[in-house]
């Protein structure tokens, strides 16, 4: 292990320890979130804007690490405090940053030993289709968010593809989740919602395939 890798591991470990310390020091508030006592949580947070930003960000990191807090709960808190637009955007920004942090931590701590056990063909497939793997998981939440982050982190998918797929996927999916607190959608995805998500998935899939095709053609021409 070189000095750079050791430094990365130390930095991610320090980041996680800071988060744990913050949670422990605000245990009562986080217990309210755990018990879904939204009225009390929202009342406390609205009295301190800085605390609101920090707590909601930490909650998003926890959700992206273990998925022990329902994502709809966090969006409900953000939308209730900041309003629909800003609550939606803040949820989206924090989710992308939190996902990136967990991805980075998993990559620096667990990728090297696991990749040795995987065949080269599997690694090549992940690199080539990494964007679609992550994007599909984001807009069709059949797999926990935390598992997507950890699996991508220990795989050979590039950070660029992971972050782009997460940003686009969450931008779409969070929009629908943000409508639920307003009663415009039920928690159970109805047929119309699933149809829209399927259409968006198909649209981005076609765009992605076209992009990959152009990229291969450009690469071929440069190396002729």
Interatomic CA distance for residues 20 and 51, integer angstroms: 16
Per-residue confidence in pLDDT tens, the chain, 224 aa: 556 667 777 888 888 899 999 999 999 999 998 888 889 999 999 888 899 999 999 999 999 988 788 888 999 999 999 988 999 999 999 999 999 999 988 888 776 655 555 555 555 555 566 788 888 888 876 778 888 888 888 777 888 889 998 998 898 888 888 887 766 555 444 455 555 666 666 666 666 666 666 555 444 444 45
Q: Rounded to the nearest 10 degrees, how much is the dihedral formed by the CA atoms of 59, 61, 64, 67?
A: -30
Which residues constitute the domain of residue 82?
A: 3-222
184 token code pair: 């415009």
Q: State how far Cα 189 lies from the chain centre.
A: 20
Angle at 80 between CA 75 and CA 82, to 5 degrees: 90
Question: For residue 177, which of 168, 166, 188 has the smallest C-alpha distance?
Answer: 188
Torsion of CA 83, 87, 89, 90, to 10 degrees: 140
Domain count, the chain: 1
DSSP code of residue 184: S
């Amino acid at each position: 292990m070189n000095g750079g890798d050791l430094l990365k591991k130390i930095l991610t470990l320090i980041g996680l320890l800071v988060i744990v310390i913050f949670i422990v020091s605000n245990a009562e508030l986080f217990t309210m979130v755990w018990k879904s006592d939204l009225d009390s949580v929202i009342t406390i947070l609205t009295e301190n804007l800085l605390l609101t930003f920090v707590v909601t960000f930490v909650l998003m990191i926890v959700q992206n690490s273990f998925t022990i807090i329902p994502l709809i709960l966090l969006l409900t808190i953000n939308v209730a405090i900041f309003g629909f637009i800003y609550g939606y955007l803040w949820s989206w920004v924090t989710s992308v940053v939190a996902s990136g942090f967990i991805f980075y931590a998993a990559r620096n701590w667990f990728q090297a030993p696991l990749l040795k056990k995987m065949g080269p063909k599997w690694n090549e497939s992940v690199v080539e289709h990494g964007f679609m793997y992550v994007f599909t998981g984001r807009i069709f939440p059949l797999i926990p968010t935390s598992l997507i982050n950890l699996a991508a982190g220990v795989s050979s998918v590039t950070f660029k593809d992971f972050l782009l797929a997460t940003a686009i996927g969450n931008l779409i999916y969070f929009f629908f989740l943000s409508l639920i607190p307003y009663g415009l959608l039920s928690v159970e995805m109805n047929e119309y919602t699933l149809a829209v998500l399927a259409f968006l998935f198909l649209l981005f899939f076609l765009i992605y395939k076209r992009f990959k095709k152009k990229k291969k053609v450009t690469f071929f021409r440069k190396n002729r």
